[in-house]
Amino acid sequence: QQQVKQSPQSLIVQKGGISIINCAYENTAFDYFPWYQQFPGKGPALLIAIRPDVSEKKEGRFTISFNKSAKQFSLHIMDSQPGDSATYFCAASIGNFGNEKLTFGTGTRLTIIP
């Protein structure tokens, strides 16, 4: 049972373009939604996170858009660069108190081509 559904599985974007990755969740108790970035041979690392009391959060070229009524959230990477090529995971948890269990999406392999 996949509680967090992520799409697409893979994505190819030209340098300078916008990369968009989408996630949908089922459990309405989820209230913390982070995105993790993973480079080959490395563990995932937190990229950006949002709570459902806001509809958008921006950090540099990375933006999370959140739609509570649709139970969907997405990651937008503006001006995509070859260094952004990585696997991206959305995730969700109940709470963010330092001991929450994260439920991850299936991942999106992003490739930025010159």
Partner 1 sequence: NAGVTQTPKFQVLKTGQSMTLQCAQDMNHNSMYWYRQDPGMGLRLIYYSASEGTTDKGEVPNGYNVSRLNKREFSLRLESAAPSQTSVYFCASSELGSSGYTFGSGTRLTVV
What is the pattern of x (binds partner 1, CB under 8 A) and - over residues 31-70?
A: ---x-x----xxxxxx--x---------------------
> Total binding residues for partner 1 by CB under 8 A?
23
Tell me which amino acid residue 22 is: N
Alpha carbon of 32 to those of 6, 45, 50, 73, 89: distances in Å? 16, 16, 6, 11, 14
Check binding of 104 to partner 1 (CB under 8 A). yes
The one segment of 55-63, 66-74, 76-84, 97-105 that binds partner 1 by CB under 8 A: 97-105
Q: Which residues lie near partner 1 (CB under 8 A)? A: 6, 9, 34, 36, 41-46, 49, 89, 97-107
